[in-house]
Amino acid sequence: MLPAAARCLDSAVHRRYASAVAQGALLFTESTVTMRSEQGVAFEIRYVPALAAKPSTSPGEKQRARGFVNPFLPYDERLHVASLGGGSHHLLLNKYCVVPYHLLVTTAAFRQQGERLDESDFAAVLEALDGLTREHIVFYNSGEESGASQPHKHLQMLPIPDGMDAPPSTALWLQSHPPLGQVHTASLLPFAHFGVRLSNGRRSPSGLAAAYAAALGELTRAHGPAVSYNMVMTNSAMMLFPRRQSSWHGISINSLGLAGLVLCKTREEQTLLDSVGVLHTLMQVGFPSPNRAAP
């Protein structure tokens, strides 16, 4: 267990969340969650009808739009939790929140979303994680087809849902017993992925940056340097997923979707997902895995 001093972000996040909601700076959206078992793993389907009215635009579209205002520069003080990395990054609450305590790690100076992650990004993420009691999913949307929505570079952090040891896609991948520290793919996942199993107790910015560089190198060799991708990281694994499209039949998929936590905006989307399955849907927005198991 972390010492009390190392968990100081817990209370800061909760206090800031409560005050941001009270001031109207943070908008929480209600949702309904159902679980679907595929290959022995429970995938989460979250129905959020309020999102149907929200326009979906890519970072490039936002940046080119007349009157675009960067929400992270300057950030809303009411959403600011802490400065990280000696001021190189900021920890913010997500203004549009479907799950409580959804956090953003943004660069203090403008950098383009889709840039490669570096040691300073991972140092800021680790500083935040070391101050939080619950295990979190860390994710990064890179490229126009990744589900990214803002052009200012940021990673995101979300508490792992209750009852889960790992996100569903990661849990399925871990069943293949990947070797520690090596890029590995598993036939259990039918869509392309490049994962590295991490040592829980030995995380460092340089180690995470090296794991990321190795996985990204394999991904770009297989799919080209311009391909969009999603990165998902937990204490046990880092996984990268190349993308060929951002949505399929209206179902928009970002990093959380590839991790197995999928959002639906309409009953029609939910019905389709129930009909074809989560893994099949993720294969449509990603690439079929070359070593996937036969059906």
SS3 assignment for 254-278:
CHHHHHCEEEECCHHHHHHHHHHCH
Angle at 96 between CA 90 and CA 101, to 5 degrees: 60
**pTM given for the model:** 0.93
Dist CA 146 CA 263 (whole Å):
14
Average pLDDT, the chain: 92
CB atoms within 10 A of CB 176: 15
When pLDDT is cut at 50, 70 and 90, the band that residue 76 belongs to is very high
When pLDDT is cut at 50, 70 and 90, the band that residue 56 belongs to is low
Q: What is the mean pLDDT of residues 77-96?
A: 97
* Share of residues in the chain with pLDDT > 90 (%): 86
pLDDT of residue 7: 58
Contact 271, 56 (CB under 8 A): no
Helix or strand (DSSP H, E) at 52: none
Nearest partner of 190 among 273, 256, 121, 281, judged by Cα: 281
pLDDT in tens, 102-117: 999 999 999 999 999 9
Query: What are the sequence ranges of the domains in the chain?
Result: 4-285
User: Which residue bears the tokens 């996942």?
Assistant: 189
For residue 54, is pLDDT > 90?
no
For residue 5, is pLDDT > 60?
no
SS3 at position 90: strand
Q: Given CA atoms 12, 17, 18, 20 in this order, what sign does their dihedral have?
A: positive
Helix or strand (DSSP H, E) at 72: none
4-285 fold: HIT family, subunit A (3.30.428)
Contact 189, 111 (CB under 8 A): no
Dist CA 274 CA 91 (whole Å):
36
pLDDT in tens, 185-235: 999 999 999 999 998 767 899 999 999 999 999 999 999 999 999 999 999
